Amino acid sequence: MSQDTSSSSSTLMLSSVEDVLALTLQCGDRLGLVQSSLIPALHRFTHDARIDSDALLARPVEGDRDPLGALSPAVNTVGYLYILTARLKLYTSQEQTNVHLAVASQFVESFNLAQARCVGGKVAQLARQVAELGDRIGDAKAVLPILEVLFARFTQDRPNSLTALHPVLAYQYLKSSLYQEAYERLLRREHIDVDVYALPNHTDVLEYFYYSGMILTKLKLHEQAIDSFETCISSPSAAVSAIQMDAYKKLVLVQLLAHGQTSPPPRYTAQVVVRSFKQLGAAYTAFATAYEARDADCLSRLEALVNQRAETFTQDCNFGLVFQCLELHRQRRIQRLGEVYSSLTLMDVAELLNIQGEDRERVVQAEVEALVSKGWITATIHPSASMPAPSATPSSLPSHDSPVIVFEQQQSESYETIETVQKLTAAIKRSQAIQRVVEQRERHVARSVEFLKKQAQGSRGNRYLDLGTDEFEDDAFAA
């Protein structure tokens, strides 16, 4: 171990795992020394292109001894973490995997939080590596306890900050099919800030909201899923991401499930995302257009479109959502009829929807009852003998001696109930909390050197905070 004196602030030069071990033990649990000596030395060591730092860190020390045996996760967190992540990167055998899981479990249970937050990027790397170990052994659930403990301890006093750990844990829940657990332990948190210790990059943010949307869709929480997918596609982008395209496709289908129709993307969605979807999501646009049609033959056209585009929907892993939309299509059409007519007979509805068969009255009645139970419409069915002829029956339909559906206008929500007042009060408090965070962040940015430099450049070159494409670089995405 030598000392570099070429700069004004000298940095220790590490050349082996023995050097790393010695410096780690020398610094101990003294946070100031860890920050000023150990972390800069490790950073320089691991970024030296002339050496394979991971291979050096993964080696045993003299006497074929394990360097981690001389370190304590609670005292020597930073050095322990660097050696552990190097091993997880290089060693992939089944036997080593089980050993590494045990070591990682011991580490997450006892690491020093203050030290870990000084190297949040390494903590996020450890989380990704643990998740990969689960893939390696073919058991995503096996590593979840390790990730949950790591996440809980690292975010214990910052529950509303989004970290680089969030997408890792969300994806692990998704792979494990533990959707309710994901909702209770992760997705219910309101994120009003980003974490400064394990700072998420652009891809981390996209992945987290994409995975969240998928989990919420599995739980039939469609409104929340829509919010997550919209957050994903509207994230600032200079270039389109594959994640955003996948989220956009699912957004269209979930909107159809939730409302029976689509809505435009948020106004602040980057135009490059909108334009790309017009080209890459043509099958979904066509499906939505056919789904929202109101003529009698729309179902046959919709089914033909699904058969034609089945390969696309299957490749995108969206055929299940498409099938769910098809199952609800008849109910959505009846719901639209209720928006136009005050009453219709069961046979009228069967004629308008082109429902065939001797039992079509029973089929329509079952669909209406299902709609009422879901709260999508307010309607009652009366025997034809007790009701006058429907006053708004389409003139193209013959009169039928059939039970009558009476559609009623749904009552709008009262804003004077205790429950509504409580919801409104809670929403105001959340808004105020978010406003405080935004104001604090604005003051911090306004005082930062980067902002002042950008502002000075803008005044000279008639530019204002111009963003380059390199600020939104994407990693390859594979869900």
User: What is the SS3 assignment for the chain?
Assistant: CEEECCCCCCEEECCCHHHHHHHHHHHCCCHHHHHHHHHHHHHHHHCCCCCCHHHHHCCCECCCECHHHHCCCCCCHHHHHHHHHHHHHHCCCHHHHHHHHHHHHHHHHHCCHHHHHHCHHHHHHHHHHHHHHHHHHCCHHHHHHHHHHHHHHHCCCCCCEECCCHHHHHHHHHHHCCHHHHHHHHHCCCCCEECCCCCCCHHHHHHHHHHHHHHHHHCCCHHHHHHHHHHHHCCCCCCCCHHHHHHHHHHHHHHHHHHCCCCCCCCCCCHHHHHHHHHHCHHHHHHHHHHHCCCCCHHHHHHHHHHHCHHHHHHCCCHHHHHHHHHHHHHHHHHHHHHHCCEEEHHHHHHHCCCCCCCHHHHHHHHHHHHHHHCCCEEEEECHHHCCCCCCCCCCCCCCCCCEEEEECCCCCCCCCHHHHHHHHHHHHHHHHHHHHHHHHHHHHHHCHHHHHHHHHHHHHCCCCCCCHHHHCCCCCCC
* pLDDT at 7 exceeding the cut of 50: no
* pLDDT at 396 exceeding the cut of 60: no
- Arithmetic mean of pLDDT, 192-211: 93
Whole-structure pTM value = 0.84
* pLDDT at 419 exceeding the cut of 90: no
pLDDT in tens, 15-66: 899 999 999 999 999 999 999 999 999 999 999 999 999 999 999 998 889 9
- Arithmetic mean of pLDDT, 273-302: 93
Domain chopping of the chain, boundaries: 201-340, 341-408
Assign 283 a pLDDT band (cuts: 50, 70, 90).
Answer: very high
